[in-house]
Structure 1
Amino acid sequence: MATEHADAVLRRHAARNFWVNVGDGVSYIFGISMISRLTVMPLFVEKLGGNALVQGLLPTIYYIGWLMPSLFMAPVVASMARRKPYILFATIFERVVFLILGILLLSAPDLPHPTILVLFFILFTVYAFGSGFTSTAWQDFVARIIPKRRWGIFFGMQNGVGGIFGVASAWVATTLLRDMPFPQSVGVLALLCFVGQAISYGCLALSVEPPQDAQPRTPWREFMGGIMPLLRRDAAFRRYLFCRAAIALGFVGHNFLTAALLARFQVADAEIGVITGVLIGAQAVAHVLMGALADRWGHKQVLVLSTLLGMVTLVLAVVAPDASWYYLIFALMGAAQAGYTLSGFTLIFSFSTPALRPTYIGVANTALAPAAALGPLLAGAVAAVAGYELLFGVLTVIGVAGMLALQLWVRVPHVAELND
C-alpha cells in the first residue's frame, strides 16, 4: 500500500519534481562554474606555486571524496524511507566551503602562498567528501522521483540549461580574473559560487518525495559479504566496471589540460576564463543533444561516443602547434565530459532493480575510486618526469581500450530481464 500511495503522489507531482530539480542542477552548475575544477582551480594552484604533482591532488582528492563513501552509504540509503532529509543535511558541507574560501581570500589575501594552498586543499577535501556522502542518496533520490523514460532528457536539460548559465559564470570569471588582483579575484568567484549553490539548495528543498518501502538496515559486514556474490552473479555489471575504470583512466588526462596549456604557451589569467566559457558552452549543447540521444540510442552508446571524443581531445593536445587550438580542445572536452557524466552513472541504473539500486550505485562508485583517485597522482608523476605529451599518449591508449571493450563485451540488460 505504501508503494502504491507513493507512486500516486509522484505521478501527481511529476512536473513539479522535474522542474525544481532542473532548477537545482542549473543553479548548482551556475555556481560551481565560477570556480571550475578543470580550469580556474588549476590556475589557482599554479599561481600559488603548485607543480604537476600538486595539480594531480585536485582530481585525486575529488574522486576519493566523491566515490569512496558510496559503498559505506549504500546500506544506509537503502534503509531510508525518504532520501531528501538526509540529502538536505549532508549537502551543506559541500556548499559552505566556498563561503569560507571566499571570506578567507578576501580577508587575508597576503597570507604566504603555501599557507593558502594548504588551507585550500583542506576546504577542497571537505567539499569532495561532502559530495561523496551525498551522492548515493542523491542519485537514488533522482531515480525515484523522475520517471525512467525521462532520465535522459532530465539530465540533458539540467546540465544543458545549467551550461548556458555556466557560460555567464565564465564571462564573470574572465572579467574578475582580468580586472582584480590575485587571489581576491578567486575569493569573489568563490562567494558567487556559494550564492548559486544556496539557490540550488532551495530548489532541492521544494522536491516532493513521499515515504516508500524501505529495506531493513543490513549490518555493514553482511552487506560487504554480499558484494562478491553480486559481482560473480552479474557478469555484465562486472564487465562494465572494468570498462568504466579504463575509460576513467583515459579521462584523467582532462584534469591536466589546463596545466599543459599553461606550461606550453604564455596564456593570461583572463584567457582561462574565456576557455572556461568554451568548455561550459560545449557541455551545455552536448548535454541536451546527448540526453535526447541516450533516450533513443541508449546510454551505453552515448558513453562510447563520449569516450571517443575524450580521447581525440588528448591527441589534439599533443599535436597542438599553438594556444588557439585549445579552444577546439576544450570544446571537445566539454562534449566528452557531458556524455561521460550523463551516461557513465545513469547506465548503472540499467543493471539493477529499484530495491538493489543503492547497492549497485555504491559498488560502482567505489570500484571506480582506485582508477579515478590514484590515476591522477600517477599521471602527475609521469607528467613531472616525462612531460604531458607522453602522459596524454598513454592515457589515450587506455581509454580507447576501455571504449572498445565496452562496445564489444558489455551487454546492458532489458527491464524485463531484471524483473525475472
Structure 2
Amino acid sequence: MTQQHLAQSLYEKLVGEEDARACNSISEEACQVVPGNFLLMVFSHFFSQLGDAVANPKVVLPWVMETIHAPLYLIGFLVPIRESGSLLPQLVIAGFIRKQEIRKGVWIFGSILQAAAMVSIGIVAWTLRGALAGWCIIALLTLFSLARGLSSVASKDVIGKTIPKTRRGQVTGWSASSSGLVTVGLGLLFLFSSNQALTPLNYAVMLIAAGALWLLAALVYARIKEFPGATEGGRNALVEAIKRLDILRRDQPFRRFVITRALLLCSALTAPYYVVLAQKNLGSPVSLLGLFILASGAASLLSAPFWGRFADRSSRKVMIAAAIMTAILGISVYLIDSVHPGWLALPWLLPAVYFILSIAHQGVRVGRKTYVVDLAEGNKRTDYVSVSNTMIGIILLIMGFSGALSTVLSISTIILLLSLLGVAGAVLAISLPEVE
C-alpha cells in the first residue's frame, strides 16, 4: 500500500467513509490532498496540545512556581497572561498574516518561539529561586503567549484553506484525544509515585520536554501542502486592525458569537479555583497533582472526538451543552461547600469534578473554534478570528483579577459566580445561527 493510499484509508476511518471525499469551501487543488493534510494537522496539533498538557498553566506551572518559592501574587497572573497574551495582539498580527499567500510558515515560526520560551522556563526553574525566578517565568510566559498568538491566527486560516467543512472539528477532536492518552500516562506516573514533592530538576526536565514537543509540531506542520491564498487588505497593520474592529458593530451574528464566547470563559477561569480548593482541603502531594493531570488528560482522550463530531453537526449546540455542564458543576460545588464541606476532603471528589469540567472545557474550545471557522470564508475568517481573539484577550485579562475577590469571598463562591456566566452563555448561544 502506497503512502497516499494509507493516508486515504486512515483518513476515511477517522472521519467516516461516507462523504469522506466531499470538499466544501476549499479549492479543487486543496481537495486532492485533504487526507494527507488532515493527518499532518492532527499530528502537529497532537504534539502542541501535548506540550500544553505537560506545561499546563492551570495545574503544572502553579506547582512549579510554588516549588521555587515565587511570590504568591505572581502565580495569579499565570492563566491570564498565558491566555490573553496570545489574544490581545492578534488584530495587528492578522494584518501581517493577510500579506502572506502561504501562511503555514507563521504557524511554524510561532511554534519554534513557543519551544524556545518553554525550554527557557525549564532552565529558570532549575537554576533560579524566589522573586527573580518568578518574574523571569512571567516574562518568558509572555513571550510564549505572544508566539502562541501567531500560531493561533495562522492555524484557523490554514485549516480553513486545507480542510473542508464538516471535517474541521475532527482535526481538533482527534489531536486532543490522542494527546489526552499520553497525558493520562503522565498523570498515572505521578499518581503512583511517592507523595514527596518533585524537585526543581524534575520540573525542568518536564518543561524542556514540553518545549521539544513544540519543535516536533513545527517539523510536522512544515509538511502540510498549502496553496496560495488571497492577500487583500495587507496594508498598514495597525490602521487595518482599527478598521476591522468595526465588524463588531456591523455584523450581528459575529457580535453575538463574541459575547457568547466571553461568557464561556467560565470554563477556563474556574479551573484554577478547583485546584486551589483541592489543595486547601487535601494539601499538595505529588499524587494530587497526578490526579488532576490524569483528569485533564482523560477528559481530552474521552471527550474530544465526541465534541469534534458533534461540532461538525452543530458547533452552536456544543457550546450550549458545555456551558450548561460548567454551570451545573459550579453550583453543585458551592452547595456541597455550604451544606457538607467535609465532602470536599474526599480524595476523589474534586479531581472527579475537575475531570467533568475539563470535558466541558474541551467542548467550549472545540465548539467555538469550529464555529468561528465555519462562520466566515477567505480573509473574512482571519478578521473574525483576530477581532474575536483580541476582544476576548481584553476581557480575559480583566476577569483574571477575579482572584482579588478571595479577600472577601470564599473560593466556592467565586466558582459559583464565574459558573453562572455559563448559564448566560448557554442562553445567548441559543440565539446564534447554525453555520454547519
TM-score (norm 2): 0.86
Q: In the alignment, is the contact (CA less than 8 A) between 2:85 and 2:393 conserved in 1?
A: no
CA offset digits 1:100-155 (Å, max 9, x no partner): 2223333x2xx432222122112111111110122111221122111112112222
In structure 2, do the counterparts of structure 1 residues 80 and 37 end up closer, same or farther at CA, with 3 Å as the change threshold? same
**Aligned residue among 354, 376, 386 for 1:330:** 354
Q: How do 1:304-383 residues align onto structure 2 when only pairs under 5 Å count?
A: 304-318=320-334, 319=336, 321=343, 322=345, 323-377=347-401, 379-383=402-406
> In 1, Cα distance between the equivalents of 2:349 and 2:231?
52
Where do residues 241-260 of structure 1 align in structure 2 (5 Å cutoff)? 241-249=258-266, 251-260=268-277
The 1:264–1:33 alpha-carbon spacing in structure 2 relative to 1, beyond 3 Å, is same
8 A contact 1:40–1:273 mirrored in 2:
no
| 1:197 positional shift | 2.0
- The CA deviation string for residues 241-295 of structure 1, in whole angstroms up to 9 with x for no partner, is 1222122146411132212211232241232122211221112211011111122
Partner of 2:27: 7
Matched, 1:113 2:130: yes
Amino acid at match of 2:153: T
Aligned to 1:102: 122
CA displacement at 1:177 relative to structure 2: 8.2
Name 2:315's counterpart in structure 1: 299
Which residue among 142, 155, 172 is the counterpart of 1:138? 155
Alignment-mate amino acid for residue 403 of structure 1: A
2: CA distance, partners of 1:172 / 1:138: 32
1:91 correspondence with 2:111: yes
Aligned-pair RMSD on alpha carbons? 2.3
| Gap change, CA 1:91 and 1:172, over 3 Å in 2 | same
Matched, 1:389 2:412: yes
Letter in 1 for 2:134: L
Letter in 1 for 2:75: Q
- State whether residues 53 and 380 of structure 1, in contact with CA within 8 Å, keep that contact through their aligned partners in structure 2: no
Return 166-175 or 181-190, whichever deviates more: 166-175
Query: What letter is aligned with 2:311?
Result: A
For the residue of structure 1 that corresponds to 2:57, the secondary structure is coil
Spell out, residue by residue over 1:215-248, the C-alpha distance to the aligned partner (whole angstroms, 9 max, x if none).
1413345524533542232111112212221221
- Structure 1 CA distance, aligned partners of 2:263 and 2:388? 13
Whether contact under 8 Å (1:30, 1:169) holds in the other structure is no
Does structure 1 conserve the Cα–Cα contact (< 8 Å) formed by 2:68 and 2:200? Answer: no
Partner secondary structure for residue 375 of structure 2:
coil
* Maintained 8 Å contact 2:92/2:241: no
Determine whether 1:70 maps to 2:94. Answer: no
Change (3 A) 1:228 1:132: closer
Matching of residue 410 in structure 1 with residue 432 in structure 2: yes
The counterpart of 2:46, out of the listed 20, 23, 26, is: 26
Offset, 1:46:
3.4
- C-alpha spacing 1:250/1:15, structure 2 compared with 1 (3 Å): closer
Q: Cα 1:219–1:294, aligned 2, differ >3 Å: closer, same or farther?
A: same
The one-letter code sitting in structure 1 at the alignment partner of 2:41 is N
Query: In the aligned structure 2, how far is the partner of 1:85 from the partner of 1:96?
Result: 17
Residues 287-337 of structure 1 deviation map (CA, whole Å, 9 limit, x = unaligned)? 0111111222x0010011111122223234332622421122111111011
Residue identity opposite 2:315 in structure 1: H
Change (3 A) 1:317 1:185: farther
The 3-state SS of whatever aligns with 1:310 is helix
Retained in 2: the 8 A contact 1:249–1:372? no
**How far apart, CA to CA, are the structure 2 residues paired with 1:112 and 1:162?**
31
Q: Which has the higher helix share?
A: 1
Structure 2 residue matching 1:206: 3-state secondary structure: coil
Q: Partner amino acid for 1:406?
A: A
Q: Is 261-270 or 11-20 further displaced after alignment?
A: 261-270
Deviation, 1:176, is 7.4
Structure with more relative contact order (C-alpha pairs < 8 Å, separation 6 or more): 1
Equivalent residue number for residue 400 of structure 1: 423
Is the 1:31–1:194 Cα contact (8 Å) retained in structure 2? yes
Please say if 1:125 is aligned against 2:142: yes
Cα 1:216–1:34 change in 2 (3 A) is closer
Say if 1:262 and 1:384 are closer, same or farther in 2 by CA, change over 3 A.
farther
1:263 to 1:395, Cα distance in 2 relative to 1, 3 A: same
Using the TM superposition, name which of 175-184 and 138-147 deviates more: 175-184
Q: Which runs of 5+ in 2 are unaligned?
A: 1-25, 338-342
**1:417 corresponds to:** none
Question: What are the equivalent positions in structure 2 for 1:210-221 lying under 5 Å apart?
Answer: 210-220=227-237
Identity %: 18
Q: 2:283 aligns with which of 256, 260, 266?
A: 266
- The residue type paired with residue 69 of structure 1 is P
Contact 1:254 1:333 in 2 (8 A): yes
Q: Report the 3-state secondary structure (helix = DSSP H, G, I; strand = E; otherwise coil) of the residue aligned with 1:263.
A: helix
Task: Please say if 1:276 is aligned against 2:293.
Answer: yes
Q: SS at 2:76's partner residue?
A: helix
Structure 1 unaligned segments of length 5 or more: list them. 1-5, 415-420
Contact 1:76 1:217 in 2 (8 A): yes
Asked if 2 retains the 8 angstrom alpha-carbon contact of 1:287 and 1:338, the reply is yes
Task: Measure how far apart 1:180 and its partner are.
Answer: 7.0
Q: Which residue of 2 aligns with 1:3?
A: none
Partner of 2:5: none
Give the letter aligned to residue 77 of structure 1.
Answer: I
Match of 1:418 in 2: none
TM, length-normalised to structure 1: 0.89
